[in-house]
Every structure is written in C-alpha cells, then in structure tokens.
Amino acid sequence: MRSLHIDGNSVLHRLPAAAKLAALAVISLVLFMIDNAGFLAGAALAGLAGHVLLRISATEIWRRMRPFVLIVVVVALFTAVFNGTGEGLTAFFRLAALALFASLVTATTTTGDFIGVITRAAMPLERLGLLKARDVGLSIGLVIRFVPEILSRYEVIRDAHYARGLKPRPVSLIVPLIITTLKSADEIAAAIDARGIRSQK
Amino acid sequence: MATRDLVLSALFAAIIVALGLVPPIMLGFIPVPITAQSLGVMLAGVVLGAKRGTISVLLVLVLAAIGLPVLSGGRGGLAVFMAPTTGYLIGWVFAVLTTGYLSQLLVSHSQAGFVQTVNFFVAALFGGVIVLYVCGISYLALVTGLGFSKAFMGSLAFIPGDILKAVIAALAGRAVMVGYPLLPQRT
C-alpha cells in the first residue's frame, strides 16, 4: 500500500501537520462562504500552482485528482442545469479548489506526522478515560500490517473454490475470510500483551 | 478496551480495506461508484456489534484521512473528505453503529436460523441503507446546494444494489455467528 505522501523539503513539508490541518479547515470554511466564481477559480488555480511548485508532475496530479473529476463535473453539471450556469461554475471551482488544497496537505505530510497529531488530539479523550491515545498508532499499524495478508487469504479461498469446481460467490467467499481472519485475533492479542506494548508509558 | 477487542476492530478494518480492492462498478450517470466496501461496513456491524464495528470503520476513515489509498478505487487523502459524496463516508460511522446496535438488540443465539437471518437483514437494511442514505443525501443536498429532491433522485439508482448487499451481509452475518460467534449478546 503506497501512501499518497511525496518526499520533499518545501515550506509546506516543514510546517507542523497540525498547522496544515487547521489552515485547511479555515480555507474550506472560506471557500464555502464565498460565492464569487472568479474568486473560487483563483483559489483552484492557487491549489494547482501549489502542486506545480512542489514539482508534482502533471501525470501524478492527474492520478491524484482522477477519482474526483467525475464527481465534481457531474455535480457541477447538475447544478448548472437546475440552478443556472453561474452557480454550476461556482460549484465546479469550489469543489476543485477543496480537493486540490486537501491534496496539498496529504502530499506534504507523512503518515507518522498524522499519527502524531491524532495521538495528541486523543489525549483529552484519554484523560476522560474513553480510550488510550497510544492505541491509535497501534491500531493503524495493525491494519496496514494485515491488509496484504487478508488479500492473500482471499486468493487462497477463491482458488479453493476453483479447485472444487465451484463458482466463487460473495457469501461463500466472505464467510471463511471473516472467520479465519478473526480467529487469529486471540494470537495477535496475546503477542501484543506478551510484549507489554499497551502498558508502556 | 481489551487488547482482543482492539485487534478484532483492526482486523475488520483491514477486511474492509481489502474489500475495496475489488474494482468498483460505475453506473455511468451518477457520481457514486458501487463497491463491496459498503458491504464491509454492514458486515462490521453484524459480525462485531456496535462498539467494535464502529471502531473498525473509524479506523478505515482515519487511514484514508492520513493519506493511505484505502478506499475503493485507490482513493485516499484529505480530498475524499472535501468531496460532494463525503456524506456517505461520514454516514458509514452511523450506518455501522445502527447496524451493530440493531443486530445486538434483535438477534440472539436461541432464535431459529431463519429468524436470525431476517433480523440481521433488518439491521443491515436500516443501518447500511436507510441511515447511510439519509447522511449521504443530506450532505450532498446541503453542500452542493442541489436540494433534497434532486440529491435523492441522483442517489436512487444505487439503492437496489445496496439492498442486495444487505441480503449478503445478513446471510454472512448469520453464517459467521454459527461458525465463530463474536456478536455481544443482550443480557
């Protein structure tokens, strides 16, 4: 699983992750409050210029934005048809600017920095006794560790269907996948506790 | 929270991510792809119950937010939380919470198999379809200024597929309950 982070040493890379997230929140609020298509187009261009300044290639920008293009265009067209061309353009530039600014934060912040921010943000919840802040990082690590294993388990179950001449069906694939995966939880939990990972201070 | 519960939630989050790697089907004229991932959300509720199910879905969303391409079609990053369809992602949390809560409320080991399946279906349908669409459509309507009726019309085409997913989730939930019961029981 490749992160969407891009290595670099720009001003954005060096800013603390919390500051970038706060800035993104403020920017998105501003973008929603202003209805001027020209201003929003400028914002979208600024977001695009940010990618160019980070030396992200055009193909890479396209790869990052592709999942949003269809959604943004369809919503803008819908708005244009029902509420007029002006509002359609406003919607298009606003949604494009939002996606581009968010993508800038993602590209310049490492997974580790984000986990740090989340752990710190979870500290007040820990004081309330709701959760352990350190568990956040542990759980994220566990998910990343086990996705490839689950995928290969999925392939084994699918191949077992073929070997028996059965057509793979959703229920007959998913049930053994869930049961075999969750049965390993006891061993993993025992391994975590044996290493004292959750009791460290 | 016991370590085992934490591990179960993390493993289910990994299952939801893996289900997203099955290619999504686009229905052309509507901007939301049909994926097996929302099936994973219903499954988290029927298999793990409200608390652990919700934690596993939150984990998937956190992974997406911190820039890992864990959502169907390799989507990830903060941009997915700034899109017109973000309401469906936020809706996952309420969907799994509702599905899990209703599963715990309605399903018990003493029921006949068919009754369990029907109850799981009711839980998955209410949480994974009704609650999810209320969240998704409200967000789409308010954020894009489309209005509720148009946002509803635009989402209509996906409802049959999601009802089918609720059926699959019910059958799988009942089978997992027989093979390896994890759903907390009402006392």
ipTM of the complex: 0.89
A113, two tokens? 């920095």
CB pairs < 8 Å spanning A and B: 195
* B71: CATH: 1.10.1760.20
Contact check, Cβ <8 Å, A71/B32: yes
Cross-chain Cβ contact B1/A132 below 8 Å: yes
Q: Which residue of B has its CA nearest to A144?
A: B14
**CA distance linking residue B139 with residue B132, whole number of Å:** 11
Domain annotation covers residue B27? no
Asked if residue B185 is part of any domain, the answer here is: no
Which residue type occupies B98? T
Number of domains in chain B: 1
Chain A contact set for B152 (CB, 8 A): none
Contact A111 B68 (CB under 8 A): yes
DSSP code for A167: P
In tens digits, chain B (187 residues) has pLDDT values of 788 999 999 999 999 998 887 655 544 444 555 567 889 999 999 999 999 999 999 999 999 988 788 888 778 788 888 888 899 999 999 999 999 999 999 998 888 889 999 999 999 999 999 999 999 999 988 887 777 888 888 788 788 888 888 998 999 999 999 988 888 876 5
Q: Which residue of A has its CA nearest to B57?
A: A143
- Contact (CB<8Å) B67/A106: yes
Q: How far apart are CA A82 and CA B150, in angstroms?
A: 9
**Of B32, B79, B150, Cβ closest to residue A78:** B150
Give a yes or no: residue B25 inside a domain. Answer: no
Domain that holds residue B150: 3-18+33-179
Tens of pLDDT, residue by residue over A61-79, are 888 888 788 778 888 888 8
- Partners of A74 on chain B (C-beta within 8 Å) are 29-31
Residues 74-113 of B with CB under 8 A from A: 74-85
Distance to chain B for A8, nearest Cα, Å: 16
C-alpha B131/C-alpha B176 separation (Å) is: 24
Q: How far is CA A98 from CA A20, A31, A32, A193, B133, in A?
A: 14, 8, 9, 43, 23
Pick from A1, A98, A132: which is nearest to B69 by CB?
Answer: A1
3-state secondary structure B13-49: HHHHHHHCCCCCECCCCCCCCECCHHHHHHHHHHHHC
